[in-house]
Amino acid sequence: MAVHAHPDDESSKGAATTARYVADGVDVLVVSCTGGERGDVLNPRLQHDPEVVRDIVGYRRREMAEAVRILGVQHRWLGFVDSGLPEGDPLPPLPDGCFALEPLEIAAAPLVRLVREFRPHVMTTYDENGGYPHPDHIMCHRVSVEAYEAAGDPDRYVGHGAPPWTPLKLYYNQTFSRLKITAYHEALLASGAESPFAEWMERWEEREERPVTTRVPVGDHIETADAALRAHATQVDPDGFWFAVPAALRREVWPTEDYELARSRVGGPVAGTPEADGVIEDDLFAGVREHLAAQAAGVAR
């Protein structure tokens, strides 16, 4: 289960991973907490398109449906309203009724229900900073952790799905690391191309470097992820940042998507523990299959 804040996040964060696991026969459910109602149109070709202007909500839902088709995943909306990204100094207040202002138990309840219905062994979401400090990304982190911790407890969220279900691992997407961006930057320059990452390199000290515990090989699924992201046509410029590094170069230089193992009930290099020092997994299900096999063997005996 991959939990995201807005439609398009599932295609810019971990999309090749979900496509890889779908190809491996794993059931994958993408959850969108909000409908992206307050998102800006970031593709200059569509900013004045009459259909987009008239019905941005419907347009984004159609984009999401196409991305879901491309990735081969299942999908559910949680139904909350996009909070928007406040700008200015001081920052304006968030709009009434938005996702980020919901009480935690109200916001987490439908996700708890989904966890109990779908019964995932592994969940992915964002770290406590949201990957970047968008209020919906931070709230997505909070509800995901709450659902991971609470869904297996029969005394919590009574009436929100049954029976209880306990996921085994929780990961945070780590889409951009210093090592990865440096590798892209240097590879682009070496190829004679212009790099869009020069400014990133200059102000990297301002960014918190998160731990990476898990690198999932996804080289065969990079084009699928790109196609899914392009399906969100209002949200990405096809000539812009997201596609600055050609797929072939990405496959050569950094053919993985990277994660931080935040919680585990089956061991593994949980970030911040001594066991994580220098250990890198290559599978989100590391330890899960062994755990399930041991459970099955115990039942069989």
Contact indicator for 172, 259 with CB cutoff of 8 Å = yes
pLDDT by residue (tens digit) across 139-161?
Answer: 999 999 999 999 999 999 999 99
Amino acid of residue 28: V
Output 278 or 7, whichever has higher pLDDT: 7
Contacts of 228 (CB under 8 A, 6+ apart): 10, 11, 15, 19, 67, 70, 71
Tokens of 278: 């220098």
Whether 283 and 213 have beta carbons less than 8 Å apart is answered as no
User: Do 165 and 152 meet the contact criterion of CB atoms below 8 Å apart?
Assistant: yes
Contact between 10 and 71 (Cβ < 8 Å): yes
* pLDDT computed for residue 90 by the predictor: 83
Share above pLDDT 70 across residues of the chain, in percent, rounded to a whole number: 99
Q: Structure tokens of 87? A: 């700008």
Convert the pLDDT of each residue in 88-125 to its tens digit: 878 899 999 999 999 999 999 999 999 999 999 999 99
Fill in the DSSP letter of residue 281.
Answer: B
Average pLDDT of 30-42?
95
Q: Return the amino acid letter for 145.
A: V
- Indicate the domain borders of the chain: 2-172+212-300, 175-209
Annotated ligand binding at 6? The verdict is: yes
> Does 127 carry a binding-site annotation?
no
In whole angstroms, give the CA distance from residue 192 to residue 249. 13
> Is 237 annotated as belonging to a binding site?
no
Written as one letter, the residue type at 110 is: P
Give yes or no for a cis peptide into 163 (omega within 30° of 0): yes
| C-alpha distance from residue 117 to each of 87, 114, 212, 282 (Å) | 38, 5, 30, 28
Spell out the residues 6+ positions from residue 169 whose beta carbon is closer than 8 angstroms to its own. 121, 122, 123, 261, 263, 264, 265, 266, 268, 284, 285, 287, 288
Residue 299's pLDDT is 65
User: Taking each helix axis from N to C terminus, what angle separates 15-23 and 56-71, rounded to the nearest 10 degrees?
Assistant: 40
Cα separation, 19 vs 287, in Å, equals: 21
**What CATH number matches the domain at 2-172+212-300, 3.40.50.10320, 1.10.3720.10, 3.60.15.10, 3.40.640.10?**
3.40.50.10320
Closest listed residue to residue 111, CA positions, set 154, 142, 65 = 142
Q: What is the dihedral of CA 259, 261, 262, 265, to 10 degrees?
A: 150
Give the pLDDT score at 276. Answer: 81
* CA angle, residues 180, 86, 39, in degrees to nearest 5: 70
Q: Does 300 have pLDDT greater than 70?
A: no
Q: pLDDT-based confidence at 274, cuts 50/70/90?
A: confident
Q: Which residue has the higher pLDDT, 63 or 279?
A: 63
Name which of 47, 43, 55 is nearest 8 in CA terms.
Answer: 43
Tell me the whole-structure pTM to 2 decimals. 0.95
Q: Which of 36, 29, 40, 42 has its CA nearest to residue 3? A: 29
